Amino acid sequence: MVQDSEEKLINIKNTPENRDKCHCKVCPSYPYKCSGESLYCSKGPSKCDIDPEVCICNTCPIFFEYKLKGIYFCNKDMVGESRSFMRKKKINENDSIYQTIVDIKDSSAMDKSVIGSMGSLKELPFSLEDLFFVPAQVKHIPLNLEDHVNTEISIGVEATKPLKIKSPIMISGLSFGAVSRITRLVISGTASKLKIGFNSGEGGVLTEEIEDSMGNIIVQYSTGRFGVDEKILKNAGAIEIRFGQGAYPGKGSYLPAEKITAEIAEKRGLEKGEASYSPAHHPDILNPDDLKNKVSWLKKISSGVPVGAKIGCGNVEEDVKILVESRVDFIALDGFGGGTGATDKYVRDNVGIPIFIAIPRAFKLLKDLGVKKSVSLIAGGRLLSSADFAKCLALGADAVYIGTAALIAINCEQYRICNTGRCPTGITTQNPQLIKQVDHEESVKKLSNFIGISTKEIANLTRIVGKNDVSKLDKEDIVSINRDLARASGVKWVNGEYL
């Protein structure tokens, strides 16, 4: 591709003299709806769409003076990580189609997979938005606002030390490194304040979390085993063996070198500035017997706290059956669309299945095996609202994990550049100046408000269907307006019948 460097174009002076020399206004492709524009090679592309007819850039004195190579500067911009100089996005062009073109430019220019942050933006043919609660009216009587609804739950009810929490909303694994230290302390502070569960993620546990919040923390035992020792395991509120997550199931995780500070490196056993990779599987869990032995060891070393597993949604029944046989106390399912700090887009956008399909399948199997009362189900992956949370409970989950929603409540604005270390909101960066954008006290208040309000809204939806305990929500409380979703999730279609 013939391309002028960004540095060369920046050096073209936007002066009256250069504008007088410019041929843009006499070009057959000139966008007269944006009349007055000129010197596109210096000022950037037109605000209007360009209808390419003939380009006369290579006849312009500016072209020869600055030794340019390209053409159609009126229609080109620097795009993507590779800063490829290509046509700008048309006003009504599909975002996804244009981004695919940019991704191809990036991978061809840089000889590497394109990295993406946060969850997949791929639109699915149906979603949780297609599920609606069935209000109690006459046959079933709705509860009044003052009628108590229980929101407390226990994870691992048959464990020696069940994890008892005040809300079915828990905060998922957001590892130290993927997010900033202050973000982690906001999460642990909120969990301690509200008496809810939160997950350590795979980057280890901070000293402050050990001192203040270990009764609430689910320590993640990941494939990389970063920052997890017997002392931490002995003081955990629960332990989660992490096999995968919704953003990249079946693939190891990655933390770019740009985000590895001295403290993060120490926690992960790395050199400062060394990228962090987790393997795709546990080195010592290669078959069901290995898993059974690992679960037994973790239960023993932790003196009986719940030990469970987190998996990306795939072969749900087969995976869940093996986990049950290994005597786990809980299973966390993370669906397609779940967030992450950094992963390959080709994986994020094409692997796994949605949580609203996986949870009903796992629930049915646990019932068929006669173990649903003893094995807790946790749902995660693209859950953003109280309605999403409540619908997952109705589909069979005992609790939900939230990640992206929690970060937005703290300060995240979805710039979707988590992998760069340049997060302007201070959430997913280690830059000392950017981290100042997160105020600990204010952020604990905001996250507490969001989880508190969401818990109240789940309780109100429970009242609306005529029940007094969020754990009593079930598939009889919802219908689907999408026939395919009704079949796949096992709930009634909108006509009141199972398909």
pLDDT (mean) for 491-497 = 94
pLDDT (mean) for 111-132 = 87
Q: What is the dihedral angle through the alpha carbons of 217, 166, 358, 310, rounded to the nearest 10 degrees?
A: 10
Name the pLDDT band for 237 (thresholds 50, 70, 90): very high
Tell me what pLDDT residue 189 has: 94
150 and 411 Cβ atoms separated by less than 8 Å: no
312 and 249 Cβ atoms separated by less than 8 Å: yes
242 DSSP 8-state letter:
E
Q: Is the pLDDT of residue 24 over 60?
A: yes
Q: Is the pLDDT of residue 3 over 80?
A: no
Tell me what pLDDT residue 1 has: 54
Max mean pLDDT range (207-221, 284-298, 333-347): 284-298
User: What's domain 128-493's superfamily in CATH?
Assistant: Aldolase class I (3.20.20.70)
Name the pLDDT band for 166 (thresholds 50, 70, 90): very high
- Global confidence as pTM: 0.87
Q: Provide CATH 3.20.20.70 ranges for the chain.
A: 128-493
pLDDT tens, residue by residue, 352-365 = 999 999 999 999 99
- Least confident among 119-128, 190-199, 232-241: 119-128
Contacts 24+ apart (CB under 8 A), 468-473: 468/143, 468/147, 468/148, 468/149, 468/150, 469/149, 469/150, 470/149, 470/150, 470/151, 470/153, 470/168, 470/390, 470/393, 471/150, 471/153, 471/168, 471/393, 471/398, 473/390, 473/393, 473/394
CB neighbours of residue 256 within 10 Å: 17
User: 114 or 446: whose pLDDT is higher?
Assistant: 446
Q: What percent of the chain has pLDDT over 90?
A: 59
d(CA 297, CA 303): 10
- Least confident among 3-12, 158-167, 227-236: 3-12
Cα–Cα distance list, 152 to 60, 169, 187, 378, 472 (Å): 73, 10, 19, 14, 12
List, as one string, the DSSP characters of 374-421: TSEEEEESS--SHHHHHHHHHHT-SEEEESHHHHHHHT------GGGT
d(CA 416, CA 37): 32
Contacts 24+ apart (CB under 8 A), 228-231: 228/204, 230/301
Name the pLDDT band for 165 (thresholds 50, 70, 90): very high
Tell me what pLDDT residue 75 has: 87
- Least confident among 81-95, 122-136, 163-177, 217-231: 81-95
pLDDT (mean) for 128-155 = 97
> Regarding beta strands 492-493 and 84-87, do their DSSP bridges make them parallel or antiparallel, or are they unpaired?
unpaired
Q: Is the pLDDT of residue 371 over 80?
A: yes
pLDDT (mean) for 129-136 = 97
Q: Tell me the pLDDT of the chain averaged across its residues.
A: 91
- In the three-class reduction of DSSP (H, G, I as helix; E, B as strand; rest coil), residue 219 is classed as strand
Q: What percent of the chain has pLDDT over 70?
A: 100
Q: Is the pLDDT of residue 191 over 70?
A: yes
d(CA 367, CA 245): 24
Q: Give residues with Cβ within 8 angstroms of 493, minimum separation 6.
A: 479, 480, 481, 483, 486, 499
Q: Give residues with Cβ within 8 angstroms of 434, minimum separation 6.
A: 422, 423, 424, 425, 426
For 150, the enclosing helix (H) or strand (E) is: none
CB neighbours of residue 120 within 10 Å: 24
pLDDT tens, residue by residue, 252-281 = 888 888 888 888 888 888 887 788 888 999
pLDDT tens, residue by residue, 408-458 = 999 988 888 888 888 889 999 999 999 999 999 999 999 999 999 999 999
Tell me what pLDDT residue 226 has: 87
